[in-house]
Chain A
Amino acid sequence: MEVLRPFDKLPAINSAALLLVGADGSAQQRLAEAVLREPKAFRISIHLAASLPLPAERDHLRPRIDLIVFIIDIKSKYSLKNVEASLAHVDASFFLGKVCFLVTGVGRVNSCSIEMSAIWKLRDTYCSPVLLCELESEKIQATTAQRLLRMLQICAGHVPGVSALTFSSLMRSSADD
């Protein structure tokens, strides 16, 4: 079983790698395009995966993954199950701030098939922040892309004095209340 580790590779100069994990390919792609549209001062590579583990054959070509975003579609139970199965292939040190859950489709509460309590439980179990967004709306999509980009910057160590762990603990303390 392949386990993804945050520190088994050296970082590349002035670049960051984002891994989007989610069952819904089109949403991932739209989000990736939105992230790439944002202005930024460093090189970014976005990897898309439906589930973990990542194939071991191309491991040597992959850069160090700085941030894993698990995309959960609130309208499909399968996406939650898929994410839960994928979480087993992530090393524990990734959960020190380098993982976040992105819940999409929160604008349509009527068609929700996942209870929010399940998501909060996921957040508490894995000590990782949860972002809520609606990818159908252009504005929210852009805002989400900006947030992800900022988080990625922190996780990749581009912001002096702020580590991923600091950031995630800040997020958690605000989320607890």
Chain B
Amino acid sequence: MSELCLYKLLVFSCVLRAFNKDAFIFTATLPHASAQALPLTPLRAPARPPSCARGRRCVAGGRGPRGQFEGGAMAEPGGAGPSAELTVGVPFLISLREQLKQQLMECQVAARACQGGCPDHDMEEKATVESMPNLENELEKIKTSFKNKTLVLQRMQVADALQKKMAENDGEARLIVDTLLNIVELSKTIIQFQRETRYIEDKINAIRRKRLVLRQAEKDKMQKIHLMMKKIKKLGSKEVNELLEKIRENLQTEREMTTAIQNVFQSIIIGSQVNWAEDPSLKAIVLQLEKDIS
């Protein structure tokens, strides 16, 4: 057992040395023995640093109430010679080791956080950001269910309280019954009104539906009329063209016929050897026949 203690002490002194760089030997008393409060002993310190004069309060260097308090539970480290005796309990050393471990871990974590920017960290952050919506959804679900449950619970509690009150059957219970009856009456009225509202809404909806159908039919009809108008216009223009062509042809043939008849008349008048220049009416006719119709 004593060998084990010695070994542990050796390990601790190594750890302490590695941690604090300065090799020192410390004396310590058992924690429970040193647990009583020591009187306040403001540290004696040299004159205030110049910064105190600028309105800043001196922290560790001031004298009196603004000084540093030292409340001791353990003896001062350092200062003891190499021959100082170690009066340390094993549990205390173990707790000290745990402390050092924890502090080392914290320092390591801080150092790693200071380095920052490593790819792992980025990936982790990405993953975290990606998983955030899911987690938020879950949180919302849980919140909703919790609220629902709370509501149900509250209702149950209220119902229970009401039941108990009703069982007492005193003046307050009568008041509650009156209120409940009133509520029932009001609810009935509300339901009645709601039914009426629904009936009217149904009517409005039916009218709207009819109007919609009518509007669609109107649209169809308008389209049909438009198409018809277009067709009629097309057909009309065709017929007129044909008619004009025919009329022109007729006119042409009539003209030709007239020319031929004029020529025939002229020939007859000349052939009859009548002096057409003496008779004024005949002269007019012959001169008229000379005119070209076309």
Give residues in A with beta carbon < 8 Å to B. Answer: 6-7, 10-15, 19, 25-26, 29, 32-33, 35-51, 53-58, 61-62, 93, 156-161, 163-164
The verdict on A6 contacting B110 (CB below 8 Å), with A25-B66, A43-B72, A160-B99 known, is: yes
The verdict on A163 contacting B60 (CB below 8 Å), with A36-B71, A43-B71, A47-B68 known, is: no
Instruction: State the total of A-B contacts with C-beta under 8 angstroms.
Output: 129
Bound complex: CA A156 to CA B111 (Å)? 16
Bound complex: CA A12 to CA B78 (Å)? 11
Contact B20 A10 (CB under 8 A): yes
In the complex, which of the residues A12, A44, A51 contacts B73, with contact meaning CB atoms closer than 8 Å?
A: A44
**Which of chain A's residues has its CB closest to B67's CB?**
A48
Q: Find chain B residues with CB under 8 A from A29 CB.
A: 65
Cβ of B98 < 8 Å from any Cβ of A? yes
Query: What's the least CB distance linking B205 to chain A, in Å?
Result: 47
Q: Find chain B residues with CB under 8 A from A10 CB.
A: 19-20, 107
Query: What's the least CB distance linking A85 to chain B, in Å?
Result: 12
Contact A7 B107 (CB under 8 A): yes
Contact B99 A14 (CB under 8 A): yes
Interface residues of B in 77-96 (CB under 8 A from A): 77, 95-96
The verdict on A50 contacting B56 (CB below 8 Å), with A36-B37, A55-B49 known, is: yes
Bound complex: CA A25 to CA B58 (Å)? 12
Cβ of B103 < 8 Å from any Cβ of A? yes
Q: Find chain B residues with CB under 8 A from A36 CB.
A: 37-38, 40, 69, 71
Q: Find chain A residues with CB under 8 A from B58 CB.
A: 55, 58
Cβ of B59 < 8 Å from any Cβ of A? yes
The verdict on A47 contacting B59 (CB below 8 Å), with A13-B16, A13-B77, A36-B37 known, is: yes
Q: Find chain B residues with CB under 8 A from A41 CB.
A: 31-32, 34-35, 73, 95
Query: What's the least CB distance linking B152 to chain A, in Å?
Result: 20
Contact B59 A55 (CB under 8 A): yes
Contact A45 B35 (CB under 8 A): no
Contact A163 B56 (CB under 8 A): no
Contact B59 A48 (CB under 8 A): yes
Contact B36 A39 (CB under 8 A): yes
Query: What's the least CB distance linking A149 to chain B, in Å?
Result: 10
Query: What's the least CB distance linking A146 to chain B, in Å?
Result: 13
**Which of chain B's residues has its CB closest to A59's CB?**
B60
Bound complex: CA A15 to CA B26 (Å)? 13
Bound complex: CA A115 to CA B72 (Å)? 39
Cβ of B200 < 8 Å from any Cβ of A? no
> Given known contacts A13-B96, A57-B49, what 7 new A-B pairs fall within 8 Å (CB)?
A14-B28, A33-B40, A48-B67, A48-B69, A57-B61, A58-B58, A158-B102
Contact B68 A50 (CB under 8 A): no
Contact A43 B59 (CB under 8 A): no
Q: Find chain A residues with CB under 8 A from B107 CB.
A: 7, 10
**Which of chain B's residues has its CB closest to A161's CB?**
B102
Bound complex: CA A13 to CA B110 (Å)? 19
Of residues B20, B56, B71, B111, which shows the largest number of chain A Cβ atoms within 10 Å of its Cβ?
B71
In the complex, which of the residues A50, A51, A157 contacts B106, with contact meaning CB atoms closer than 8 Å?
A: A157
Query: What's the least CB distance linking B19 to chain A, in Å?
Result: 7
Cβ of B74 < 8 Å from any Cβ of A? yes
Contact A39 B35 (CB under 8 A): yes
- Give 5 pairs: A residue, B residue, CB < 8 Å, sorted on A: A13-B96, A41-B34, A43-B73, A46-B68, A48-B66
Q: Find chain A residues with CB under 8 A from B70 CB.
A: 43, 45
Cβ of B57 < 8 Å from any Cβ of A? yes
Q: Find chain B residues with CB under 8 A from A11 CB.
A: 103
Bound complex: CA A49 to CA B109 (Å)? 29
Query: What's the least CB distance linking B27 to chain A, in Å?
Result: 12
Query: What's the least CB distance linking A166 to chain B, in Å?
Result: 11
Bound complex: CA A49 to CA B98 (Å)? 31
Cβ of B52 < 8 Å from any Cβ of A? yes
Cβ of B288 < 8 Å from any Cβ of A? no
The verdict on A46 contacting B71 (CB below 8 Å), with A55-B52, A56-B51 known, is: yes
Contact A39 B68 (CB under 8 A): no
**Which of chain A's residues has its CB closest to B54's CB?**
A55
Bound complex: CA A15 to CA B75 (Å)? 11
Cβ of B113 < 8 Å from any Cβ of A? yes
Bound complex: CA A53 to CA B55 (Å)? 11
Cβ of B50 < 8 Å from any Cβ of A? yes
